[in-house]
């Protein structure tokens, strides 16, 4: 199957998985919350947050594993592929043990000195903590198997596992309703068991299908490969830790200057952005392996073409949902939250604008990742993340309102876009003028058309549910018409037409 058709097929599979798992997750969360109660659910969320903050080392190594597997698969280097997989398994086992020791050590201090937990729930809180540490270990050592499944682009199996996990969580939620002993402890035990079962499923699947997934440290563990992967991971780690510092630091800064209510508005905006952003993120999961594998196979022009198409299409997918929300944010948020905290509306609008700029630049950054020389781009990115925080502190000290943090982030995303296109040009010879003509111009025309026309129609109506429906309808229609005339290249239209023709044939 050609790469372009495989991308379309995998994107469709991942979207089906996303809709199924989102629906199950929303219902499961409600059942778990009602079963555990606010205190126990809060304890679970608090402990999960503490552990998540301490696993950023694994995130960097995961990125390195994915890149090297995809690159060598594209290059057709079977021996090197086995070495990368075995090195990845070894490193993730090592990182898993380090994280367990680190988290257990920090957890002991947190329980004794930091966390505020009711005395009668301390035993259960400690138990759930240990179960979550075990779950984290299983999750970390699952990464090489997830990475090789993604590298081979077997998204159907990946989606099936994701759906099994969602139904597993739903089963756990229903089961603990019937338990008479401590429900929180049972929840932690069953969640750890589920993660372990999923690890076994992935491992069996990989052992059967992929020759390179056989573990043999004596013959396939290569020091040079380990060093190469660690060097790459060290720079992604540098970027990850500054990004985390900027994200969590901003929450603390907002709290220090404006209090908890602004934090609530910031959290709601982030949650909303995450839900809308899932559609473009899903498409990028299907695109990323093709970008790196193209570089590995020496097809650099194809890699650049896929990255630029991904930049444009991920922006369009986000903008399609974001534009009507930006226009109708006051009504939608009142409908959803009844009485949204102050600044929630402006935060929610601006965070989506930040996300749209981010979608333009991330696929271009993948070009640099595929080439492998990421040192300088990670340094520049890290400086920008830290500067956003420092500039925000300066502005807030001067008396600027909290929503200016998003103006700073918009400027930072524009700067990141410039830096990533410059490095893609320097390292992979991506023509900047091609990016302007094939990505920026279509994006600008389609977005402004949908925004201006929808706003003009909306301007003459009072806020109501009817106006919301009309806004969504007009925005969607104008967006799709503009996309057809100015947003898509002829080849892209042909691909989409082929997909609809195949679906039509299967239906009829």
Q: Which two tokens stand for residue 17?
A: 């998985």
| Region of poorest pLDDT, from 121-135, 280-294, 379-393 | 280-294
Residue listed under structure tokens 């629906």:
23
Q: Provide the mean pLDDT of the chain.
A: 81
CA dist 372 and 232 (Å) reads: 7
CA dist 152 and 148 (Å) reads: 6
CA dist 344 and 341 (Å) reads: 6
- Given a cut of 80, whether residue 334 has pLDDT beyond it is yes
- Given a cut of 80, whether residue 417 has pLDDT beyond it is yes
pLDDT in tens, 66-91: 788 888 878 777 888 888 888 888 98
CA dist 287 and 150 (Å) reads: 10
Predicted confidence at residue 479, as pLDDT, reads: 94
| Region of poorest pLDDT, from 245-259, 368-382, 391-405 | 245-259
Task: Check if the beta carbon of residue 24 is closer than 8 Å to that of residue 169.
Answer: yes
Mean pLDDT of 364-390: 85
- Given a cut of 80, whether residue 447 has pLDDT beyond it is yes
Mean pLDDT of 418-422: 94
Q: Which of 379 and 245 is assigned the larger pLDDT?
A: 379
Q: How many Å separate Cα 64 from the centre of its chain? A: 16
Side-chain-side CA neighbours of residue 310 (13 Å): 29
Task: Check if the beta carbon of residue 454 is closer than 8 Å to that of residue 474.
Answer: yes
Predicted confidence at residue 398, as pLDDT, reads: 93
Predicted confidence at residue 136, as pLDDT, reads: 83
Q: What is the dihedral of CA 162, 313, 381, 325, to 10 degrees?
A: -80
Three-state DSSP string of 478-497:
HHHHHHHHHHCCHHHHHHHH
Mean pLDDT of 413-442: 92
Mean pLDDT of 447-457: 91
Mean pLDDT of 344-372: 87
Closest to 318 in 3D by CA, of 450, 503, 158: 450
Closest to 50 in 3D by CA, of 107, 117, 112: 107
Mean pLDDT of 259-278: 72
Q: What's the pLDDT band for 393 if we cut at 50, 70, 90?
A: very high
Task: Check if the beta carbon of residue 388 is closer than 8 Å to that of residue 351.
Answer: no
pLDDT in tens, 183-212: 778 888 888 898 899 999 999 998 888 888
Instruction: Give CA separation, 275 vs 19, 168, 293, in Å.
Output: 11, 22, 29
Sorted by sequence, the CB contacts under 8 Å of residue 46 that are 6+ apart come out as 115
CA dist 23 and 327 (Å) reads: 26
The domain limits of the chain are 1-213
Predicted confidence at residue 311, as pLDDT, reads: 87
* Main-chain phi, psi angles of 125, to 5 degrees: -65, -40
Predicted confidence at residue 314, as pLDDT, reads: 83
pLDDT > 90: percent of the chain: 18
Mean pLDDT of 135-152: 85
* Main-chain phi, psi angles of 2, to 5 degrees: -65, 150
Predicted confidence at residue 201, as pLDDT, reads: 92
Q: How far apart are the first and last CA of the chain?
A: 23
SS3 254: helix
Predicted confidence at residue 1, as pLDDT, reads: 43
- Given a cut of 60, whether residue 115 has pLDDT beyond it is no
CA dist 362 and 313 (Å) reads: 12
Give ∠ CA 93-135-289 in degrees, rounded to 5. Answer: 65
Q: Which two tokens stand for residue 113?
A: 């000195």
| Region of poorest pLDDT, from 227-236, 305-314, 348-357 | 227-236
SS3 339: coil
């Amino acid at each position: 199957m050609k790469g372009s058709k495989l991308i379309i097929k995998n994107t469709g599979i991942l979207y089906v998985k996303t809709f199924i798992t989102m629906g199950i997750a929303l219902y499961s969360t409600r059942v778990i919350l009602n079963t555990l109660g606010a205190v126990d659910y809060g304890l679970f969320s608090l402990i999960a947050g503490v552990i998540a903050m301490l696993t950023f080392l694994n995130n960097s190594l995961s990125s390195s594993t994915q890149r090297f597997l995809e690159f060598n698969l594209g290059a057709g280097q079977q021996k090197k592929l086995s070495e990368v997989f075995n090195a990845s398994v070894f490193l993730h086992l090592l990182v898993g043990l380090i994280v367990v020791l680190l988290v257990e050590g920090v957890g002991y201090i947190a329980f004794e000195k930091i966390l505020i937990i009711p005395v009668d729930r301390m035993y259960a809180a400690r138990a759930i903590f240990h179960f979550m540490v075990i779950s984290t270990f299983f999750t970390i050592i699952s990464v090489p198997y997830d990475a090789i499944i993604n590298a081979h682009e077997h998204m159907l199996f990946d989606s099936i596992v994701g759906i099994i996990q969602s139904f597993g969580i739903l089963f756990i939620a229903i089961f603990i309703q019937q338990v008479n002993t401590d429900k929180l402890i049972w929840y932690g035990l069953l969640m750890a068991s589920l993660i372990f079962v999923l690890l076994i499923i992935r491992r069996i699947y990989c052992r059967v299908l992929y020759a390179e997934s056989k573990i043999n440290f004596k013959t396939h563990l290569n020091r040079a490969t380990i060093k190469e992967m660690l060097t790459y991971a060290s720079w992604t780690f540098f970027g990850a830790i500054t990004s985390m510092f900027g994200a969590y630091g901003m929450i603390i800064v907002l709290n220090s200057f404006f209090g908890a209510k602004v934090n609530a508005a910031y959290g709601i905006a982030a949650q909303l952005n995450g839900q809308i952003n899932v559609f473009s993120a899903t498409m990028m999961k299907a695109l990323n392996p093709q970008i790196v594998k193209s570089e590995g196979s020496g097809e650099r022009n194809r890699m650049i073409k896929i990255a630029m198409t991904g930049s444009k299409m991920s922006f369009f997918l986000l903008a399609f949902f974001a534009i009507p929300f930006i226009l109708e944010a006051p009504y939608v948020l009142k409908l959803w939250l009844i009485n949204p905290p102050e600044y929630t509306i402006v935060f929610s609008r601006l965070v989506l604008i930040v996300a749209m700029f981010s979608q333009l630049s991330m696929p271009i950054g993948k070009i640099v990742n595929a080439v492998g020389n990421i040192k300088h781009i990670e340094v520049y990115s890290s400086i920008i993340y830290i500067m956003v925080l420092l500039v925000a502190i300066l502005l807030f000290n001067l008396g600027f309102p909290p929503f200016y943090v998003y103006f700073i982030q918009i400027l930072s995303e524009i700067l990141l876009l410039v830096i990533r296109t410059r490095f893609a040009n320097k390292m992979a010879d991506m023509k900047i003028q091609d990016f302007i003509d094939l990505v920026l111009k279509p994006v600008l025309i389609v977005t402004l058309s949908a925004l201006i026309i929808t706003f003009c129609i909306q301007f003459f109506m009072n806020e109501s549910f009817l106006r919301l429906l009309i806004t969504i309808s007009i925005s969607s229609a104008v967006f799709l018409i503009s996309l057809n005339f100015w947003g898509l290249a002829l080849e892209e239209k042909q691909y989409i037409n082929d997909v609809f023709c195949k679906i039509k044939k299967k239906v009829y």
